[in-house]
């Protein structure tokens, strides 16, 4: 098993974005890592049913994904994983548990009360901003890129958080 793409996107498996990211990354498996979805049979089945052709979707709680990472990271299978979480806090937990990635593709984190808008489709809580800072300190880049057709924003995501006074 190899993580070929790590994305933060609170929409998880959905339409052309996931199909496009799956194609760009050459992933054959999508891991949806989210406690709420994993514990809800209807939402879990929905995510599985949205798999692009030729792709498997697996849904895990954060703890189960950590166990799976530790079991499969050195497996010699051909599993190429596009890993999707909804927020930087869960991303940090996975990286601390051994997920090996050079960068995280930051997609959508919708605005809700208590979140600060960072870009058109990205908002964070203070705790999420702190998780981003810690991820960056671990040497993992955070690149905001909504769609594969658009290049990543030239400004580092961490710089955006600093300009907003969040870190």
Judge whether 68 counts as a catalytic residue. Answer: no
Using only C-alpha atoms, what is the Rg of the chain?
A: 15
Residue of 5, 13, 14, 101 marked catalytic = 14
Beta carbons of 56 and 30 less than 8 angstroms apart = yes
Bridge partners for 31 per DSSP: 58, 83
Beta carbons of 28 and 56 less than 8 angstroms apart = yes
CA distance 36 to 40: 6
Termini Cα distance of the chain? 34
Q: Are strands 29-33 and 103-106 parallel, antiparallel or unpaired?
A: unpaired
| 161, 162, 164, 167: CA torsion to nearest 10 | 80
Active site residue ranges: 14
């Amino acid at each position: 098993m190899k993580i070929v793409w790590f994305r933060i996107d609170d929409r998880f498996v959905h339409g052309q974005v996931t199909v496009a990211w799956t194609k760009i990354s050459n992933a054959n498996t999508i891991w949806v890592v989210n406690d709420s979805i994993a514990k809800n049979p209807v939402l879990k089945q929905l995510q599985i049913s949205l798999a692009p052709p030729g792709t498997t979707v697996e849904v895990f709680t954060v703890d189960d994904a950590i166990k799976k990472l530790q079991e499969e990271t050195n497996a010699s299978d051909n599993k190429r994983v596009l890993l999707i979480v909804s927020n930087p806090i869960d991303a940090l937990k996975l990286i601390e548990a051994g997920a090996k990635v050079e960068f995280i593709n930051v997609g959508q984190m919708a605005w809700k009360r208590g979140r600060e808008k960072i870009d058109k489709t990205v908002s964070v809580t203070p705790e999420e901003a702190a998780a981003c800072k810690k991820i960056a300190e671990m040497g993992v880049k955070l690149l905001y890129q909504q769609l594969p057709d658009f290049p990543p924003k030239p400004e580092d995501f961490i710089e955006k958080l600093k300009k907003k006074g969040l870190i």
